[in-house]
Amino acid sequence: MDAIISGVHRISTRQSGAYVIDGDEGVTLIDTLVPKREHLIASALAEIGRSISDVSAIVLTHSHDDHVGSAAAVKNASGAAVYASAGDVAAVRGEVRPPPPPVADRFPFLKPIIRLFPAHPPVTVEHIIGEGVEGRLPEDLLVIDTPGHTPGHVSFLLDRDGGLLIVGDAAVAKKGEVRRGYMNRAEPTFDASLRHIAEFEFERAVFGHSDPIPFGASAAFRRFAASTD
Ligand SMILES: [Zn+2]
């Protein structure tokens, strides 16, 4: 597990990343990797002297299987409360399939391949979250609505050490610069979400599928935003 800032760690896998906030109220897990990775989450937590039963909250950026995958298993083992956005909650609960990533619209041959990926086990959600929606999130995370990658995609801002943005899949980073990434496309909803992120101040940004931006991250988002006007 890699330390991002004090008390915040990244669990990296080939498919996606998940984030751990080790707090006084317990462990908050942001995203949960693909299905059947609970053992990997458990061994990552053991590195910081924690166990699965210490997880008190599971907070989800969006409903794709590589982020929700192990949520049900971790919840079963810990009793953690689950937080998901209104726009993605039906897919998190398993009532509908998550929408395919936007890249599938550009490359239709990907759709049958994407369907082969294992569906995540349904997850019970206690808290519906969204920007401006009332209710406190663990660690006072601030919700930023970033629709585009999925209809209800959200990012999270942790007000610590100059600000840490947990972007999810709304963007990726390449050599310290913000990019839409392979999974997104240039269209008004996506770019509006990235311009919205650029309105906030934060030193660092971490992503679902790329390396972090370790400093000057909100300036990097503003540079990208300016390029979309
Ligand atoms: Zn995704």
Confidence at residue 111, expressed as pLDDT on a 0 to 100 scale: 74
Residue 179: is its pLDDT beyond 80?
A: yes
**CA-to-CA distance for 120 and 38, rounded, in angstroms?**
13
- At 178, the pLDDT band (50, 70, 90 cuts) reads very high
Three-state SS string over 56-125 comes to: EEEECCCCCHHHHCCHHHHHHHHCCEEEEECCCHHHHCCCCCCCCCCHHHHCCCHHHHHHHCCCCCCCCC
Confidence at residue 112, expressed as pLDDT on a 0 to 100 scale: 74
Residue 228: is its pLDDT beyond 90?
A: no
Q: How many A from CA of 160 to the centre of ligand 1?
A: 26
Q: Taking a C-beta distance cutoff of 8 angstroms, is the pair 57, 80 a contact?
A: yes
Residue 64: is its pLDDT beyond 80?
A: yes
CATH of the domain at 14: 3.60.15.10
Residue 148: is its pLDDT beyond 90?
A: yes
Q: How many separate domains does the chain show?
A: 1
Q: How many A from CA of 91 to the centre of ligand 1?
A: 12
Read off the pLDDT of each residue in 89-118 and give the average, rounded to a whole number: 80
**CA-to-CA distance for 169 and 150, rounded, in angstroms?**
9
Read off the pLDDT of each residue in 128-146 and give the average, rounded to a whole number: 96
Give 194-197 contacts, CB < 8 A, sequence gap 24+. Answer: 194/146, 194/170, 194/221, 194/224, 194/225, 194/228, 195/225, 195/228, 196/144, 196/145, 196/146, 197/144, 197/146, 197/155, 197/165, 197/167, 197/170, 197/171, 197/221
Q: How many A from CA of 51 to the centre of ligand 1?
A: 26
**CA-to-CA distance for 24 and 186, rounded, in angstroms?**
41
Confidence at residue 106, expressed as pLDDT on a 0 to 100 scale: 75
Q: How many A from CA of 102 to the centre of ligand 1?
A: 9
State pTM to two decimals. 0.94
Kindly state the percentage of the chain with pLDDT values over 90. 83
Q: How many A from CA of 6 to the centre of ligand 1?
A: 27
Q: Taking a C-beta distance cutoff of 8 angstroms, is the pair 81, 123 a contact?
A: no
**CA-to-CA distance for 36 and 70, rounded, in angstroms?**
6
Instruction: Give the list of residues 6+ apart from residue 116 with CB closer than 8 angstroms, or none.
Output: none
Mean pLDDT, the chain, whole residue set: 93
Q: How many A from CA of 89 to the centre of ligand 1?
A: 14
Q: How many A from CA of 169 to the centre of ligand 1?
A: 5
Confidence at residue 117, expressed as pLDDT on a 0 to 100 scale: 67
Q: How many A from CA of 64 to the centre of ligand 1?
A: 5
**CA-to-CA distance for 33 and 71, rounded, in angstroms?**
8
Q: How many A from CA of 88 to the centre of ligand 1?
A: 11
Range of the domain at 224: 2-228
Instruction: Give the list of residues 6+ apart from residue 20 with CB closer than 8 angstroms, or none.
Output: 1, 8, 9, 10, 11, 27, 28, 29, 30, 44, 45, 48, 50
